């Protein structure tokens, strides 16, 4: 057990240097899945495990207000976003997202993205240079989500928008050039979408958005106070539908990496086994790194596993460590989709996008979206024939968020004559 009387040294530089490994490495030094540390000059308590997930997502224990650092708000989520709210304000704002991202509603998004993928395949076959899958997946997801959401997008603007959306994700965990690119990207797109919201409300669009579509719902949403969101906040939340969709490009690159390293998975997917595709999507999200940990603040003086947590202290949930905990996952550093065939993961076990109930807590309501998109695109990727040229496929754990360093380049792409897939 940790001795709460010992002074704590700030570990921010170690966290930046070690990346995903920092917190799991420190947690291995404890025997009770709780660690006292210091981060960003503040006392922090790190926890791990299904019980810790339930503790972390209990609003009587941990709040989000004031917990997300400004650099993350200014790049990834946006100021005033749903992720930063608690209590009734959070529930009222989240009511905007839940119907839009319900599994039934997500079917339309998957169809639009799948259609955009098939359009892109035709150009890949004739491409004179290698196709960088990470970049192409970003453009495909951007086109698909904008069509689905009713956000106007000219064909020649899709690549620039995809670059901005990927930059917002790529720069949230660094203070270097990536961070400033992310801030500039958010500023551009937030301003553009705020103008779009104002045009919708004023009836200035030549083609009004579908009343039950994402754009119209965001423009017309009323918060707990009963008032419309200001245009800037509406733009933030519109981005919080579009940006996470495009973030699936990280998982698409990881899926290609998995198919390359474990070619037996390709044959199972090519056979059209939908249960295996779901298991493959879960295993990609478990095995490959995305969010290292999540943070909140203690609502009051608390105790966890005998360790005191003062009111206002940072509480960190070790996401990457839990997704690789050998008490939850046999051979956690082996890629085995079979572990999820016939055994869907418990909501507090597999937490790449947070834990608890998305309807009541802070778990990402877009998790079904991520799984559905990854299933559909993994099927399509597995059915392509291509060459993987010599390249750097290193996935550096010091870089957050990480991905295959080359972006996963393909050459000699051939599209199957029969496009029928199991998704």
pLDDT digits (tens, 9 = 90+) for 398-414: 999 999 999 999 999 99
Structural domains in the chain (count) = 1
- Predicted pLDDT of residue 30: 84
- In-domain check, residue 283: yes
Range 240-265 average pLDDT: 97
- In-domain check, residue 374: yes
Question: pTM to 2 decimals?
Answer: 0.93
- In-domain check, residue 244: yes
- Predicted pLDDT of residue 6: 44
- The CB density around residue 142, as the number of other CB atoms within 10 Å, is 29
- 90 band by pLDDT with thresholds 50, 70 and 90: confident
Helix and strand numbers (H, E) in the chain are 16, 10
Least confident of 340-344, 382-386, 413-417: 413-417
Query: In this structure, what token pair is assigned to residue 207?
Result: 């083609």
Segments forming the whole domain that contains residue 24: 12-414
Q: Tell me, what CATH number does 393's domain have?
A: 1.10.630.10
Residue listed under structure tokens 């106070």: 225
- In-domain check, residue 419: no
DSSP state string for 102-161: SHHHHHHHHHHHHHHHHHHHHHHHT-SS-EEHHHHHHHHHHHHHHHHHT----GGGHHHH
Of 384, 269, 394, which is closest to residue 337 (Cα–Cα)? 269
For residue 36, what are the β-bridge partners? Answer: 45
Q: How many residues does the chain have?
A: 423
- In-domain check, residue 404: yes
- In-domain check, residue 31: yes
- Predicted pLDDT of residue 362: 53
- In-domain check, residue 2: no
Least confident of 39-48, 143-152, 329-338: 39-48
- In-domain check, residue 7: no
């Amino acid at each position: 057990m940790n001795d709460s009387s010992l002074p704590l040294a700030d570990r921010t530089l170690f966290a930046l240097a070690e990346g995903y490994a920092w917190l799991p490495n420190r947690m291995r030094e404890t025997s009770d899945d709780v660690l006292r540390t210091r981060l960003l000059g503040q006392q922090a308590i790190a926890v791990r495990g299904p019980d810790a997930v339930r503790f972390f997502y209990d609003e009587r224990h941990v709040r989000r207000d004031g917990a997300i650092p400004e650099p993350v708000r200014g790049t990834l989520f946006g100021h005033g976003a749903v992720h930063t709210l608690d209590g009734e304000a959070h529930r009222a704002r989240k009511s905007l997202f839940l119907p839009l991202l319900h599994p039934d509603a997500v079917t339309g998004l998957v169809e639009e993205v799948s259609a955009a993928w098939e359009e892109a395949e035709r150009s890949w076959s004739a491409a004179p240079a290698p196709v960088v899958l990470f970049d192409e997946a970003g453009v495909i997801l951007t086109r698909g989500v904008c069509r689905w959401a009713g956000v106007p997008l000219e064909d020649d603007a899709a690549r620039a928008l995809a670059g901005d959306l990927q930059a917002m994700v790529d720069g949230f965990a660094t203070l270097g050039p990536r961070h400033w690119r992310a801030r500039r990207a958010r500023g551009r797109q937030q301003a553009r979408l705020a103008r779009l919201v104002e045009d919708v409300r004023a009836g200035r669009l030549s083609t009004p958005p579908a009343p039950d579509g994402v754009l119209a719902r965001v423009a017309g949403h009323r918060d707990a106070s009963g008032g419309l969101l200001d245009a800037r906040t509406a733009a933030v939340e519109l981005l919080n539908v579009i940006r996470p969709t495009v973030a699936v490009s990280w998982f698409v690159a990881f899926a290609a990496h998995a198919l390359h390293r474990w070619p037996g998975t390709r044959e199972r997917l090519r056979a059209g086994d939908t249960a295996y595709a779901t298991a493959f999507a879960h295993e990609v999200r478990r095995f490959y790194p995305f969010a290292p940990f999540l943070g909140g603040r203690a609502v009051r003086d608390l105790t966890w596993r005998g360790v005191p947590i003062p009111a206002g202290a940072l509480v960190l949930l070790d996401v990457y460590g839990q997704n690789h905990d050998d008490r939850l996952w046999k051979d956690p550093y082996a890629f085995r989709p079979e572990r999820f065939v016939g055994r869907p993961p418990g909501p507090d076990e597999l937490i790449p996008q947070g834990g608890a109930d998305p309807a009541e807590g802070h778990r990402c309501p877009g998790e079904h979206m991520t799984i559905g998109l990854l299933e559909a695109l993994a099927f399509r990727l597995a059915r392509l024939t291509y060459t993987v040229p010599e390249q750097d496929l290193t996935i550096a754990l010091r870089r957050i968020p990480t991905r295959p360093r080359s972006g996963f380049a393909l050459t000699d792409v051939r599209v199957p004559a029969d496009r029928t897939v199991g998704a």
